[in-house]
Amino acid sequence: MQPVERAEYEGVDYAWVMQTTFVVTILVGAPAAALLSTLVTLETWGARAAFAVRIGAPIWFVTAVAVALYARRAEAGDGGSGGDADASAERDADADAGGAEPESTEPTDEQTDEGEKID
């Protein structure tokens, strides 16, 4: 069974897209909304909230589409996997570090190294 904190992605990592969209929207969208708010009169809190939704939703949508297209084109957010060799090496290391029983060094078949049968 694969651990919960590990996942192997094929294609776009949508969790990465959502996290990046959130951060970029805050870093770019909040200042843009603040600048746009200077162009209109917002006298009540209701008007301010409605303005934030009218401006914030398109900013969020455009940012999400741009990040998703970038992730698809650049294979961003794929967990840094360099290919199948790296992924299998990670799985092997995880299996060795996990709570697996250590392997026995005793011969498993019923012969010793010299070929004698064990009774």
pLDDT, tens digit, 9 for 90 and up, residues 18-54: 999 999 999 998 999 999 999 999 999 999 999 999 9
Contact 90, 18 (CB under 8 A): no
Contact 33, 105 (CB under 8 A): no
pLDDT, tens digit, 9 for 90 and up, residues 80-91: 555 444 444 455
How many Å apart are CA 11 and CA 3, to the nearest integer?
A: 20
List CB contacts of 7: < 8 A, sequence separation 6 or more.
Answer: 79
pLDDT, tens digit, 9 for 90 and up, residues 57-79: 999 999 999 999 999 888 765 55
Residue that is written with structure tokens 């589409």 in the block: 65
